């Protein structure tokens, strides 16, 4: 696989980053995941806009222009022959040459930019769309700026492991009695034909897929309510589902051992997945 590190395209075995990089020592960095379908990047503009926002919120400069970044994405997709899969991008605050809590001067410590691809054949035809997934609920103990897409993913990783241990696929995180989001996705329920999903704030990531799916749902005259919902409300809903750049739209059929609706994937999630894939291809 060819990867990208700070201006160079290299075989992955030759790509290196310093042990003093603040991404490694402090989780001081941000990332984006952009899906590829039929060799085409999905919603690059949205991902770039969010990247710029994440960087701005952390007082970091964008190391490349939008056009340069798009060219790097395309080059990696081409060089690695990605038909279905994703491009991962990470910007960290670079290598100050030592460990220090203070941010280094960006003039002397440039940020580190890393990109790589992951091939995922069959991504669009995921059989899970027909079966749905099971989730557990766990307390959301992450930091308070979840709208910034940082590489601090330890708790979401632990949540995923807790879910697996419980025989489930993912965890929905709960704060003050309301679902925030999944470990790496946005959460939704459907009641009486109405799509309910948590409103944007600093407590969840502003999903690029969420924005696209809500726009498409509105265009299809579906009703949308942006507000928090509880686990009990989700369990009593007609349907539940989640969205992310890497999974698109996937149904959730069980929460904490309770079937949602009929316990089978519902029509609203199926329709949204279809519309999303149709528009993306």
Active site residues per annotation = 149
Q: Does 210 bind ligand PDD (CB under 6 A)?
A: yes
Maximal CA-CA distance, the chain: 59
Q: Binding segment for ligand PDD among 53-61, 163-171, 202-210, 251-259 (CB under 6 A)?
A: 202-210
Residue 272: helix, strand or coil by DSSP?
A: helix
- Residue placing its CB nearer to ligand PDD in the complex, 22 or 210: 210
Q: Is 244 in the site for ligand PDD (CB under 6 A)?
A: yes
Sign of CA dihedral 233, 235, 241, 243: positive
Using the rule CB under 6 A, is 228 a contact of ligand PDD? no
Pick the stretch among 73-81, 132-140, 157-165, 180-188 that binds ligand PDD (CB under 6 A): 180-188
Rg for the chain, CA atoms, rounded: 19
By CB under 6 A, the count of residues binding ligand PDD is: 14
Q: Does 160 bind ligand PDD (CB under 6 A)?
A: no
Piece of the chain touching ligand PDD by CB under 6 A; list 21-29, 178-186, 192-200, 273-281 = 178-186
Q: Is 245 in the site for ligand PDD (CB under 6 A)?
A: yes
State which residue, 14 or 143, has the beta carbon closest to ligand PDD. 143
Query: Of these, 29, 96, 159, 207, which contacts ligand PDD (CB under 6 A)?
Result: 207
CA atoms within 13 A on the CB side of 14: 9
Q: What is the edge-to-edge ordering of all strands in the sheet holding 40-41?
A: 8-11, 2-5, 112-119, 85-92, 29-37, 40-41
Q: Which of 184, 198, 234, 251 binds ligand PDD (CB under 6 A)?
A: 184
Bridge partners (DSSP) listed for residue 240: 189, 252
Q: Out of 243, 251, 252, 273, name the contact with ligand PDD by CB under 6 A.
A: 243
Single out the residue of 90, 95, 111, 186 in contact with ligand PDD (rule: CB under 6 A): 186
Q: Is 145 helix (H, G, I), strand (E, B) or coil?
A: coil
CB 173 within 8 A of CB 182: yes
Of the candidates 4, 174, 215, 20, which has an alpha carbon nearest to the alpha carbon of residue 99? 20
| Cα 105 to the center of its chain, rounded Å | 30
Binding site for ligand PDD (CB under 6 A): 33, 181, 184-186, 205, 207-210, 243-246
């Amino acid at each position: 696989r060819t990867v990208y590190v700070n201006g160079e395209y290299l075989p992955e075995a030759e790509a290196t980053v310093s042990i003093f990089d603040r991404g490694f020592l402090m989780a001081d960095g941000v990332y984006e995941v952009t899906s590829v379908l039929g060799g085409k990047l999905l919603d690059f503009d949205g991902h770039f806009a969010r990247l710029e926002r994440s960087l701005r919120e952390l007082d970091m400069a964008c190391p490349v222009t939008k056009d340069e970044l798009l060219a790097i994405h395309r080059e990696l997709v081409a060089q690695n022959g990605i038909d279905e899969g994703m491009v991962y991008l990470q910007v960290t605050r670079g290598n100050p040459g030592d460990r220090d809590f203070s941010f280094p001067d960006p003039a002397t410590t440039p940020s580190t930019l890393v990109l790589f691809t992951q091939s995922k054949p069959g991504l669009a035809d995921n059989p899970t769309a027909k079966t749905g997934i099971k989730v557990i609920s766990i307390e959301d103990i992450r930091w308070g700026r979840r709208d910034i897409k940082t590489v601090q993913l330890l708790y979401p990783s632990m949540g995923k492991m807790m879910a697996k241990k419980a025989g489930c696929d993912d965890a929905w995180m709960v704060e003050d009695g309301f679902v925030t989001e999944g470990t790496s996705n946005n959460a939704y329920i459907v009641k009486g034909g109405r799509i309910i999903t948590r409103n944007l704030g600093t407590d969840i990531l502003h999903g690029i897929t969420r924005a696209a799916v809500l726009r498409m749902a509105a265009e299809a005259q579906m009703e949308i309510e942006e507000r928090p919902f509880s686990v009990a409300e989700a369990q009593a809903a007609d349907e539940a589902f989640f969205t992310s750049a890497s999974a698109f739209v996937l149904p959730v059929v069980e929460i904490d051992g309770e079937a949602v609706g009929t316990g089978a994937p519902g029509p609203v999630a199926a329709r949204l997945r279809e519309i999303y894939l149709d528009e993306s291809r």
